[in-house]
């Protein structure tokens, strides 16, 4: 069982991802904006952070960059879950330190498989 933090402002998407991760046996924390997400990450040091890109207060890319700049998150994996699907968006996210990238609309089965793969590293 891993601790997974989901930072996603859309309540419907958040509910779905939480549901699937709990079904997979993970402990799940949630936040609805980037600033709160950073706070929750610092408090819990999760194994995996699933980050939306476009969020209020601080966007997912900023959060990703901030997490990667902090040595206490060296073992935390980051998965971006976003509607931004352009090649340059994916490049930017990976350059900011994301370990993987899933584009919306997404398959929850694929999301779980990618999360499992990241957590097994």
Partner 1 sequence: MIQTIPGLSSALLLAAAVVCGLLALAVVIRRMVRTEFSRREELRRSRVRPLVLDILDGDTSFDLSRRDLAALVLLASETAGYVRGDDRSALTSWLTTQQFARTCLKKMKSPFALTRARALSRFAPMAHLAPRSIEQMLNDRDEGVRSLAAQSVGLSGSAALTPPLLRSIEGPRAIPARIVSMAVLRASPTSIAVFGDTLVDPNHRVRALAIDLAGQLNLVDGRKAIEDGLDSASSEVRAASLRSIQRLGSPLSVAALERMPLNNTPEFWSAQALVRELLVG
The 3-22 site mask, x for binding partner 1 (CB under 8 A), equals: -------xxxx-xx--x---
User: From the CB of residue 57, how many other CB atoms can be counted at a distance below 10 Å?
Assistant: 14
Closest to 46 measured CA to CA, from 32, 62, 59, 29 = 29
Span 21-50, contacts to partner 1 by CB under 8 A:
none
How far is residue 87 CA from its own chain's centroid?
A: 19
Q: Which of 43, 45, 54, 85 binds partner 1 (CB under 8 A)?
A: 85
Candidates 29-37, 39-47, 90-98, 106-114: pick the segment binding partner 1 (CB under 8 A): 106-114
**Contacting residues toward partner 1, per CB under 8 A:** 10-13, 15-16, 19, 85, 104-110
């Amino acid at each position: 069982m891993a601790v997974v933090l989901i930072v996603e402002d859309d309540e419907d998407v958040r509910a779905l991802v939480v549901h699937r991760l709990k079904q997979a046996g993970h402990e799940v924390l949630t936040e609805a904006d980037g600033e709160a997400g950073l706070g929750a990450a610092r408090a819990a040091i999760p194994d995996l952070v699933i980050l939306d890109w476009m969020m209020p207060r601080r966007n997912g890319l900023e959060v990703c960059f901030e997490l990667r700049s902090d040595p206490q998150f060296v073992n935390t994996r980051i998965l971006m879950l976003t509607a931004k699907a352009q090649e340059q968006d994916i490049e930017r996210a990976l350059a900011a330190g994301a370990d993987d990238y899933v584009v919306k609309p997404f398959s929850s089965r694929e999301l779980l498989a990618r999360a499992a793969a990241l957590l097994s590293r």
